[in-house]
Amino acid sequence: MKSIYSDELYQEVLGKMRERLNSGDRAEGIHLSDLSLCLNKYYLRNKHGEQRLGDDEVVLFGFGRTGEVWLRGSFDDAVPVQCEGIWCSVDHFGETMPWEIKVTKMSVNTPVPEHWLVQMMAYCYANWQTYGCREPESGKLTDALGDYCMFANVRMCVMGDYKKMRGITIVPEVLVFEEEEVMDNWMWLQGRKEVLLSGVLPSSVIGDFEGRASTFNQCDKCLYEGFCPASSKGMSKR
């Protein structure tokens, strides 16, 4: 028996994964992912279209999708809900709380990134508005926001801690947010939504509003760097 590396097979596998990642229709409108990080991407994607992901990103996304399917027990994609003009899509609803499932190359010792917290706090608010009990006549919410402020963050760190643990390590975290920070986060996102709806490209804004999401290098490996007016590489393509 001999083993022969097949680039043809490699391309077929990657092609299948790309096909799956690009399947399904994206709901029209503004998504939470458009708001939680760099606002420029929203404009640049609409102008230049979706950019091709690198092979390593495709594989990582593929692992992420596999994890979601495995935990949800369904091949169907998560069902998005629109809350106050923002599309939100929770990965999975567990028995006691919703889950966000992440497959990442970051170390298990890395704190939860700020933009993940922005995402999960937004889901808390959207779930409260979407699934909370209401008075039959007035439609006023009777559930407290605090009842929806617990979220499970399930991290699958493919590199462990880069030291003693080098294999895939699951980091299960239960995050309990305060009502005030969930409300403040939602108002912050609504402000960013209004910026996008204005139709004016925030050429000097990379998305770090009021110090939020500052723990993440948003320009690193950005697919739109060559077009972005906030990037030196995009200066010639404005």
In tens, the pLDDT along 63-118 reads 888 877 887 777 666 788 999 999 999 988 888 999 999 988 889 899 999 889 99
Architecture of domain 27-237: Alpha-Beta Complex (3.90)
Q: Where are the domains of the chain?
A: 27-237
DSSP-assigned states of every residue in 56-115: HHHHHHHHHHHHHHHHHT-SSPPPPEEETTEEE--SEE-SSSEEEEEEESS-TTSPPPHH
Confidence of residue 32 (pLDDT cuts 50, 70, 90): very high
In tens, the pLDDT along 47-60 reads 888 888 888 888 88
The whole-chain average pLDDT of the chain stands at 83
Confidence of residue 230 (pLDDT cuts 50, 70, 90): low
Q: What pTM value is reported for the model?
A: 0.85
Matching residue, tokens 């708001």: 35
Q: What is the reported pLDDT for 209? A: 43
Residue environment code for 15-45, b if the CB has 16+ CB neighbours within 10 A, otherwise e: eebbeeeeeeeeeeebbbebbbbbbbbbbbe
Q: What is the reported pLDDT for 233? A: 57
The answer for residues whose C-beta is within 8 angstroms of residue 177's C-beta and 6 or more apart is 120, 121, 124, 149, 150, 151
In tens, the pLDDT along 182-214 reads 999 999 999 989 988 887 665 544 444 444 444
Matching residue, tokens 């393509």: 237
